[in-house]
Amino acid sequence: MKKNIFTVLLLLCGLSVTAEAQETQKSFKVEVSNTWNKAKADEPVVIKLSEINPQFRVRSAVVMNGSEEIPSQLDDLNGDLRPDELAFVIDLPAKSKKTVTVTLSSAKSDKTYPARVYAEMLVSDKRGKHVPVHSVTIPGTSNIYNQMHHHGPAFESELVAYRLYFDKKQTVDIYGKFNKGFEIKESQFYPTDEQLARGFGDDVLLVGGSCGLGALKGWDGKKSTHIEPVSTLTERIIAYGPVRTIAEIEVTDWQYQGSELRMTNRYTLYGGHRDVFVETFFEEPLKDEIFCTGVIDIKGSVSYSDHKGLIGCWGTDWPVNDTVKYAKETVGLGTYIPQKYVKAEVKDKANYLYTIGAKGSKYFTHNITFTSMKETFGYKTPEAWFAYIREWKEELEHPAVVKVMK
């Protein structure tokens, strides 16, 4: 009798373990549609796990397009050590749909995918070594701009590289490449003469006190202003790839236009992309605060505007103050602000700008992109560049439609 009871208990335990094992996975279909009349390459797809509600701690995911696995990544965006989003990129012909299968699992995975992006943030020590860090927070009265190697987070795709200044300017600066590939891990934004001889790219823009390429600024009614005074300034990298990298700049208690703002600017770069998606978050809904962004007015440049949120610049100048060792660089810049956030098109001494507002909201977005004349794969005339950014805006306004079928 005891033996029979023991056998039944074992069977029940076995069933319980099996049921529990089944509960640690969840599969569902995702339909991704391209409603645009042109093909999309490396189109970003983002799935919020809160909308899936998997009922277990997700530690890995697999995305299948039929029998082909699509590289993907899980990202923890709020620092609670649990993933918030699943991201991947997919190619979509014009006017097409693809249905992929996503499987979430509580089991960890040691699977790796080819890197499509790279990111790093480094602190320099007294011995001249560069120590990797994920996040740094300082009082608003401190200045560690020169203690941060390449002055803040740097990140790249195969096509381009960016860095974010760790100071009140929070400028977006750019690094142009001759050839597609990754360079920042080796050059750390400052290529040696030997690396330059091997065909490495380099810094291609002298940003000074401008907004560089699409850095968010304050607006005093006549000109752009820096993000000051603040109680704290934090810069961090929260995603390192393989599909996308995400960097953030956060300030607390920004004394601005009669308000005290806690603001986070999030920069997301996907593999296969030269453009960056910029999101701005606030802790509380905005009132009548007005901000601005755009592109630097490069000395002697030509500009383009559609007067509906798209602004571009094409110009040539020295990228650094050393005009003996370095040659002038030619770049094309572009910033796009969705029209619902645009208040006015303006100009100051350093920049072509739009002012931005989002009364009653805690969020707005814009997008930035650039090309360098260095590129063997890029654009060689202002006409070609301005035509490209017009099409870029149109593509951004026709994102893939993502439908989760639970």
pLDDT digits (tens, 9 = 90+) for 360-386: 999 999 999 999 999 999 999 999 999
Residue 4 has pLDDT above 60, yes or no: no
CB-based contacts of 328, cutoff 8 Å, min separation 6:
316, 317, 318, 319
167, 281, 282 from 262: Cα distances, Å: 16, 8, 6
Average pLDDT value for residue range 130-134? 95
Average pLDDT score over residue span 99-124 = 96
pLDDT at res. 23: 52
Provide DSSP, 155-214.
EEESS-EEEE-SSTT--EEEEE-SSSS--HHHHTTS--HHHHHTT--EE----TTS-BBT
Conformation bin of residue 195: beta by default, left when phi > 0, alpha when psi is -120 to 50: alpha
What whole-number distance in Å separates Cα of residue 101 and Cα of residue 99?
7
pLDDT score of 151: 96
Q: How far apart are the first and last CA of the chain?
A: 46
Residue with tokens 């993933």: 83
In whole angstroms, give the CA distance from residue 309 to residue 396.
Answer: 12
pTM (predicted TM-score): 0.93
What distance in Å separates the CA atoms of residue 405 and residue 288, rounded to the nearest whole number? 40
Residues 134 and 121 sit within 8 Å (Cβ to Cβ): yes
154, β-bridge pairs: 120, 163
C-beta atoms surrounding 357 within 10 Å = 20
Same fold, 25-105 and 118-375: no
179-203 burial, b if ≥16 CB within 10 A, otherwise e?
eeebbbeebebebeeeeeeeebbbb
Confidence of residue 104 (pLDDT cuts 50, 70, 90): very high
Identify which has the larger pLDDT, 323 or 256.
256
Q: How far apart are CA 218 and CA 293, in angstroms?
A: 8
CA dihedral (301, 302, 306, 309) in degrees, to 10, reads: 0
Name the β-bridge partners of 35: none
Model confidence over 56-92: pLDDT tens digits?
Answer: 999 999 999 999 999 999 999 999 999 999 999 999 9
What value does the mean pLDDT of the chain take? 93
**252, β-bridge pairs:** 232
Q: How many CB atoms lie within 10 A of CB 348?
A: 19
Nearest CA-CA partner of 250 in 164, 176, 319 = 164
Per-residue pLDDT band for 8 (boundaries 50, 70, 90) equals very low
Q: How far is CA 46 from CA 63, 68, 85, 247, 370, in A?
A: 12, 19, 7, 17, 24
d(CA 156, CA 380): 21
The domain locations on the chain are 25-105, 118-375
Instruction: Report the CATH fold assignment for 25-105.
Output: Immunoglobulin-like (2.60.40)
Q: Which residues pair with 149 in a beta bridge?
A: 122
Higher pLDDT, residue 287 or 19:
287
Write down the architecture of domain 118-375 according to CATH. Distorted Sandwich (2.70)
